[in-house]
């Protein structure tokens, strides 16, 4: 397929394996052509947690960033493998400075680090129209903790074309992490909708890491995946015309086949004819996959239409407190004892809480918060862990509810064991669609 | 004469979420089963499997090139991962709830593992 740009993925979410990028970079170095490494580390509420960390005197970016980069940074810099990641979270400039310090510690050449900003819609006071746009998406009187627009690929591409070795972003659309390097490398125009669509599909397939190489997939006897403990993260090979082959590093576990790729094509897709991104409306309805070699799948047929007029933004706000409590009952009549325990705690819960019960071992996740599953749980389970989840606006009230649960040790049914309780604040999220002229994406060189 | 198999025998599935909206892709293992899946895995039957969760809207999209259906189901995640009290706030397990569906197949239908993994 001629010269390709190889894009590898080193992380598909904030909690991903810390050493995932190592085999990917080894593969990119051995392949020898132009290459890029991307990290996707921002879930919907990650930015709210980062803002909270920053307010509490910690860092506003992902604490694992340096552990992920340390084993691959020197190889990337010495082999001209560009790095693009949204690991800047709520403080891209701070993350860039930390990467520069890591490079000094490792004794690499000085990297040229670019910072993409403008996603933070709360920075620099309110712009006319913006505050109203965000407020309309929130319940009355609620103050946003974080509000970030999903930026497109243009600033990433511009920074790379200017010679950036590393691009640190906050919130960008996940596929933009791969589309930016493609636009920079091949000089694609943003109005070339089918190529932008092909690059967006490549990014969509890469951005969840191992989810396209056999992760979130295995089903023994039906979908068997070799050596999951050493699962390889994905590498996409993309040509100038947008042709795409998905693969993974040699010698790693996992699998890239038609099934793994089909599942990820449709992951978190709503209307497959209109997947909205900042850079293009992606149409997946003509996409085809073909296995073209061991762990190699060609993906063709992405189509694009002109990008949407608005940018999506995720807004996070404080959402009260979640309390969780569990206690186990085992042996004869275990489910009946767990049911008795739940039935005696619920009437003692203070006002102002909503609750959900589960009989783990008989039912733990298929039921809904309406608790109808409690009545229909089949009897007979002989090792049951009762779970009670509580939600309330006031942490003290949640604590009172948890305390009532704790009293099951001495007041509750026979043989209750292994009681645990925990409580944490929650963030709720809302989506807004912001006119582009109210968002000012930009990039600059890191000053350190 | 026909008999029934679990959808899990003839299709694989993946769930994703955004807010209180769940999507589940249902993909045929074999091209030969695609027509059965299209005919049987209707949005009404998916809605019935999730009835306790009171879906407010269900859309079904067909992707014949992928031998896949994409279901987009609103209102079944108790407000979504940041508001639900469910251990599975994302609804990630619900792909396997859909795969519990009973599917009538012809009496001579056979399950061949080679076709699945080929």
In angstroms, rounded to a whole number, what is the distance separating the alpha carbons of residues B91 and B82?
12
- Cβ-contact B63, A286 below 8 angstroms: no
CB-based contacts of A142, cutoff 8 Å, min separation 6: A317
**B2-80+90-109 adopts what CATH topology?**
Alpha-Beta Plaits (3.30.70)
The confidence score (pLDDT) of residue B107 equals 85
B53 to chain A: nearest residue by CA?
A368
- Give which of B53, B85, B101 to mutate to test A binding, by max A Cβ within 10 Å: B85
Which residue out of A14, A139, A272 would a mutagenesis test of the B interface target, given it has the greatest number of B Cβ atoms within 10 Å?
A: A272
Q: How confident is the model at residue A182 (pLDDT cuts 50, 70, 90)?
A: very high
Judged by CB atoms closer than 8 Å, whether chains meet at A267 and B14 is answered as yes
Q: Do B12 and A259 touch (CB under 8 A)?
A: yes
Question: Tokens 């999506």 appear where?
Answer: A312
- A166-168 and A81-85 beta bridge pairing: parallel
Predicted confidence at residue A380, as pLDDT, reads 87
Give the pLDDT confidence of A295-353 residue by residue, as tens digits: 999 999 999 999 999 999 999 999 999 999 999 999 999 999 999 999 999 999 999 99
Does A424 contact chain B (CB < 8 Å)?
no
Sequence-separated (6 or more) residues with CB below 8 Å from residue A289: A258, A261, A262, A265, A297, A298, A299, A300, B66
- Between chains, do B85 and A267 touch, taking CB under 8 Å as contact? no
* Identity of the residue in B23, B66, B113 whose CB atom sits nearest the CB atom of A262: B66
Q: List, for residues A50-82, the tens digit of each pLDDT value.
A: 877 777 888 889 889 999 999 999 999 999 999
**pLDDT tens-digit series, residues A402-443:** 999 999 999 999 999 999 999 999 999 999 999 999 999 999
Find tokens 């959808």 and name the residue.
B7
Q: Do A369 and B97 touch (CB under 8 A)?
A: no
Count of H helices and E strands in chain A? 14, 18
Predicted local confidence at residue B108, as pLDDT? 84
- Going by pLDDT thresholds of 50, 70 and 90, the confidence category of residue B109 is confident
- Check whether B79 has a pLDDT greater than 60: yes
Mark yes or no for CB contact B16/A269 under 8 Å.
Answer: yes
Contact at CB, A364 and B14, closer than 8 angstroms:
no
DSSP assignment of A273-308 equals T-EE-SS-EEE-TT-EEEEEETTEEEEE--EEEPPP
> Looking at residue B117, what is its pLDDT?
46
- The predicted-structure confidence for A109-120, as pLDDT tens digits, reads as follows 999 999 999 999
pLDDT on residue A49: 81
Q: Which residues of A318-357 are buried (b: 16+ CB within 10 A; e: fewer)?
A: bbbbbbbbbbbbbeeebbebbbbbbeebbeebbeebebbb
B112 — pLDDT class (breaks 50, 70, 90): low
- The answer to whether the Cα torsion of A165, A167, A173, A174 is positive or negative is positive
The sign of the torsion formed by the CA atoms of A208, A89, B21, A373 equals positive
The dihedrals phi and psi of B73, each to the nearest 5 degrees, come to -125, 120
Break chain A into its structural domains and give their ranges. Answer: 5-314+439-445, 317-431
* Residue A355 in contact with partner chain B when CB distance is under 8 A: yes
Mean pLDDT, residues A200-220: 98
Mean per-residue pLDDT, A274-284: 98
**Summary mean pLDDT of chain A:** 95
Whole-prediction pTM: 0.95
pLDDT at A86 over 90: yes
Q: Mind telling me how many Å the CA of A93 is from chain B's nearest CA?
A: 28
Chain B residue at shortest CA distance from A271: B61
What is the structure's pLDDT at A53? Answer: 79
pLDDT band at A27 (very low <50, low <70, confident <90, very high): very high
- Residue appearing with tokens 């948890």: A402
Q: Are A374 and A342 spatial neighbours (Cβ–Cβ below 8 Å)?
A: yes
To the nearest whole Å, the CA of B112 is away from the closest chain A CA by 10
Question: Confidence band (pLDDT; 50, 70, 90) for A354?
Answer: very high
Residue B42 phi, psi (nearest 5):
-90, 165
pLDDT of residue A126: 65
Q: Give tens-digit pLDDT for A92-144.
A: 999 999 999 999 999 999 999 999 999 999 987 667 789 889 999 999 989 89
Contact B65, A287 (CB under 8 A): yes
Can you give the pLDDT at residue A44? 77
In the CATH hierarchy, which top-level class contains the domain A317-431? alpha beta
Helix (H, G, I), strand (E, B) or coil at A422: strand
- What percent of chain A shows pLDDT beyond 70? 99
The predicted-structure confidence for A221-267, as pLDDT tens digits, reads as follows: 999 999 999 999 999 999 999 999 999 999 999 999 999 999 999 99
- Select the residue of A224, A265, A354 nearest B66 (Cβ to Cβ): A265
Confidence grade of residue A279 (pLDDT, cut at 50, 70, 90): very high
Nearest to A428 among B25, B82, B117 (CB): B82
More confident residue, A203 or B52: A203
- The answer to whether the Cβ–Cβ distance between B116 and A289 falls below 8 Å is no
| Interface contact A262-B23, CB threshold 8 A | no
Interchain proximity B14–A391, CB inside 8 Å: no
The model's pLDDT over A139-171, given as tens digits with 9 standing for 90+, comes to 998 989 899 999 999 999 999 999 999 999 999
Tell me the C-alpha distance between B69 and B25, whole Å.
6
Q: Using a CB–CB cutoff of 8 Å, tell me whether A308 touches chain B.
A: no
All structural domains of chain B with their residue ranges: 2-80+90-109
Q: If you count them, how many residues does chain A have?
A: 448
Could you say which of B25, B68, B82 has the minimum Cβ distance to residue A427?
B82
What is the rounded average pLDDT of the residues B53-78? Answer: 97
In this complex, how many residue pairs, one in chain A and one in chain B, have their CB atoms less than 8 Å apart? 123
The answer on pLDDT for B113 being more than 60 is no
Q: In Å, how far from its chain's centre is CA A71? A: 22
Rounded Cα–Cα distance for residues A193 and A410 (Å): 67
């Amino acid at each position: 397929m001629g010269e390709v740009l190889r894009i590898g993925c080193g992380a598909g979410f904030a909690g991903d394996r810390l050493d995932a990028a190592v085999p990917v970079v080894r593969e990119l170095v051995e392949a020898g052509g132009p290459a890029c490494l991307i990290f996707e580390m921002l879930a919907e509420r990650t930015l709210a947690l980062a803002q909270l960390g920053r307010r509490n005197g910690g860092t506003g970016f992902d604490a694992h960033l340096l552990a992920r980069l340390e084993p691959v940074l020197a190889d990337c810099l010495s082999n001209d493998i560009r790095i693009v990641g949204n690991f800047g979270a709520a403080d891209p400039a701070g993350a860039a400075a930390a990467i520069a310090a890591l490079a000094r510690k490792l004794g690499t050449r000085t990297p040229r680090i670019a910072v993409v900003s403008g996603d933070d819609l709360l920075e620099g006071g309110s712009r006319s129209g913006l505050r109203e746009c965000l407020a309309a998406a929130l319940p009355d009187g609620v103050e946003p903790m974080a509000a970030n627009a999903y930026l497109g690929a243009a600033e990433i591409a511009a920074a790379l074309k200017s010679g950036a070795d590393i691009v640190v972003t906050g919130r960008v659309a996940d596929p933009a992490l791969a589309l930016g390097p493609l636009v920079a490398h091949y000089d694609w125009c943003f109005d070339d909708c089918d190529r932008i669509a092909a690059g967006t599909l490549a990014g969509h397939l890469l951005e969840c890491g191992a989810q396209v190489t056999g992760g979130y997939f295995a089903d023994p006897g039906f979908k068997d995946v070799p050596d999951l403990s050493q699962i390889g993260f994905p590498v996409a090979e993309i040509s100038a015309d947008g042709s795409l082959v998905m693969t993974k590093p040699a010698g790693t576990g996992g699998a890239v086949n038609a099934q793994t790729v089909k599942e990820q094509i449709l992951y978190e897709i709503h209307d497959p004819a209109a997947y909205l991104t900042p850079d293009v409306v992606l149409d997946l309805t003509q996409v085809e996959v073909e296995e073209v070699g061991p762990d190699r799948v060609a993906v063709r047929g992405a189509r694009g239409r002109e990008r949407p007029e608005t940018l999506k933004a995720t807004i996070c706000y404080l959402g009260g407190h979640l309390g969780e409590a569990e206690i186990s009952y085992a042996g004869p009549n275990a489910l009946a004892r767990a049911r008795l325990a739940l039935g005696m705690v619920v009437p003692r819960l203070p006002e102002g809480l909503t609750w959900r019960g589960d009989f783990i071992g008989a039912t733990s996740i298929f039921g809904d918060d309406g608790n109808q599953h409690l009545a229909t749980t089949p009897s007979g389970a002989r090792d049951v862990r009762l779970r009670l989840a509580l939600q309330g606006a006031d942490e003290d009230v949640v604590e009172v509810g948890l305390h009532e649960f704790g009293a099951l040790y001495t007041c509750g049914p026979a043989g209750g064991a292994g009681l645990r309780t925990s409580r944490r604040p929650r963030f709720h999220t809302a989506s807004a669609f912001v006119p582009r002229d109210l968002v000012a994406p930009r990039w600059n060189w890191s000053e350190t | 004469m026909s008999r029934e198999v679990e959808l899990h025998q003839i299709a694989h599935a993946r769930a994703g979420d955004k807010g209180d909206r769940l999507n589940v892709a249902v993909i045929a293992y074999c091209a030969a089963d695609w027509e059965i899946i299209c005919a049987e895995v209707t949005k009404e039957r998916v809605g019935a499997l999730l009835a306790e969760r009171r879906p407010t809207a269900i859309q079904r999209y067909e992707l014949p090139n992928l031998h896949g259906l994409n279901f987009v189901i609103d209102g079944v995640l108790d407000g979504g991962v940041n508001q639900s009290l469910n251990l599975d706030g994302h609804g990630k397990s619900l792909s396997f709830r859909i795969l519990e569906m009973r599917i009538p197949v012809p009496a001579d239908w056979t399950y061949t593992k080679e076709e699945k993994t080929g």
